[in-house]
Amino acid sequence: MSNASSQSAEEARFQARIDAEDKIEPKDWMPEAYRRTLIRQISQHAHSEYVGMLPEGNWLTRAPTLRRKAALMAKIQDEAGHGLYLYSAAETLGASRDEMYRDLLSGKAKYSSIFNYPTLTWADIGAIGWLVDGAAITNQVPLCRCSFGPYARAMVRVCKEESFHQRQGFQIMLSLAHGEPEQKAMAQDALNRWWWPSIAMFGPPDGESKHSAQSMAWKIKRHSNDELRQRFVDMTVPQADFLGLRIPDDDLKFNADTGHYETGPIDWDDFWAVVNGEGQCNTDRLAARQKAHDEGAWVRDAATAYAAKRAARKAAERIAAE
């Protein structure tokens, strides 16, 4: 973080605009680090939407009813749409889609590590909607007030759709939890596997989060990781009770003095191991993205070649007409 005395006049003006809750637009002056931070965060978010289509796509062809299949298909399609707005928002900062993809495929750019966990049963589709999208909304609602205009505006639309996704996931869990014993067991098993990764999605505890302080000063981020995690836990525990499912945490308790639920310790070694490549699906997810990219190359080349041919023909027609 640059200290006040070394701030240039431009930086000071920029920070004053941020402090006054002005939105920063793509053509406005901004510190290089602000631009880089946003490109990193927005492209990572876009990659998460893109990679996140895979674990859900894994059950789309096996959805148990046509209504569930249609809802899941619409949800995954929304995610493709979110990926597109977010890549576009990052492009306004000067990043190109090709570069962003290259960074995703090379492993240089990250995506949400939650998608490195497998979807083993239909209940996982419910758990992803309920917990993963629930956590995502908790993270993203404050981003609707992010200081960078295009990101904030993209988030308004994304959040509306995410809340529909979250309800959809909860509805799946509800049907299973109120269903036959096998279905209830399926729902409990999914909660057992997704609970800890979901609360880890908010990132490392406040003291250890390396990007947090500057992002808060720039109002890219509005709340600390631990605050958001607490908000999610407080919202979700009563929902699990309503479903009649047990959160897999023996230390979980309600603190009447603070009005908050307190969880047991999160296994951060496990979290970092998965981020750094040991998850069951890290290799598969990137391999799937790489395969689609490679197998789609001829299609993208054809579209480019056709557009060039068409432009050349149009130009020739114009010359002939003159």
Please give the residue ranges that form the binding site for another protein (CB under 8 A).
50, 53-54, 56-57, 60-70, 73-74, 76-77, 80-81, 83-84, 87, 122, 172, 175-176, 179-180, 182-183, 288, 291-292, 295-303, 305-306, 309
In the complex, what is the shortest distance from the CB of residue 224 to another protein, in angstroms, rounded to a whole number?
32
Q: Cβ closer to another protein: 209 or 290?
A: 290
Which of 94, 179 has the CB closer to another protein?
179
Q: CB nearer to another protein: give 242 or 306.
A: 306
159 vs 316: CA distance, rounded Å? 48
Q: What is the DSSP letter of 22?
A: P
State which H helix or E strand residue 261 sits in.
Answer: strand 260-262
Pairing of strands 260-262, 253-255: antiparallel
How far is Cα 223 from Cα 146, in angstroms, rounded to an integer? 11
Q: Residue 16 CB, nearest distance to another protein (Å)?
A: 38
- Output DSSP code: residue 131: I
Element (H, E) at 88: helix 66-91
Cβ at position 214, least distance to another protein in Å: 30
Least distance from C-beta 172 to another protein, angstroms? 8
Nearest residue (CB) to another protein, 16 versus 292: 292
229/266 Cα distance (integer angstroms): 11
Nearer Cβ to another protein (5/61): 61
User: Which is nearest to 221 in space by CA: 152, 156, 158, 275?
Assistant: 152
- What the block records as the tokens of 57 is 């796509």
- Output the smallest distance, CB 270 to another protein, in A: 26
Contacting residues for 83 by C-beta, under 8 A, at least 6 apart:
46, 47, 49, 50, 53
Supply the DSSP symbol for 266: -
Nearer to another protein, 64 or 205 (CB): 64
Paired with 77 in beta bridges are none
Distance between CA atoms of 276 and 290, rounded to whole angstroms?
Answer: 18
- Give me the least distance between CB of 245 and another protein, in Å please: 17
Q: How far apart are CA 21 and CA 7, in angstroms?
A: 19
Q: Which is closer to another protein, CB of 101 or CB of 148?
A: 101
CB of 165 to another protein, least distance (A): 14
